[in-house]
Amino acid sequence: MILGALLQGALWVWFLGCVITYRIGSKLLVEGMGVKSAEFAMLCLYSAGLAACWLIRPAGRWVLLGVLALWLAVEFFCHWYFTLFGASERKLKGYNECFRGTLRLFPMSDTRLVPDLYHIVQHLLILGNLVYCLAA
């Protein structure tokens, strides 16, 4: 239960960066899109899923599981699909331009999307939360 709360809290705090902007020193980790964004809507949906999980037991766990599964699917088709199968020149140009100043583990590619550090951690946290929710 404590592990679940830690994973859930870590994902919430991490994803908040998509709304407010996080930096590590002078390096950009993620640029926040503000409260009038799809990212904020997803943060609200995840928050509602968390509230359901903690307040409406045991059914709320299924609500959170649905939110996490939807979120992981969206992230897959926004990022990892193009990492695995390649991207059009237009998609690649837009993606690389959008995330050009962010902290990276791996360099950008001319043929595939390469998620930055922020998105790699975010996706691992979503997956970890989904696995924990399934196992609990």
Quote the distance between the C-alpha of residue 30 and its chain's center. Answer: 11
State the pLDDT at residue 66: 96
pTM: 0.92
State the pLDDT at residue 136: 81
Q: Taking the domains of the chain in order of start, what are their residue ranges?
A: 34-135
State the pLDDT at residue 57: 87
Mean pLDDT by 10 residues, the chain (136 residues): 93 96 94 94 97 94 96 94 93 92 93 94 97 91
**28 in Cβ contact with 102 (< 8 Å):** yes
Helices 117-135, 59-75: axis angle to 10 degrees equals: 150
Q: How far apart are CA 96 and CA 113, in angstroms?
A: 8
State the pLDDT at residue 121: 97
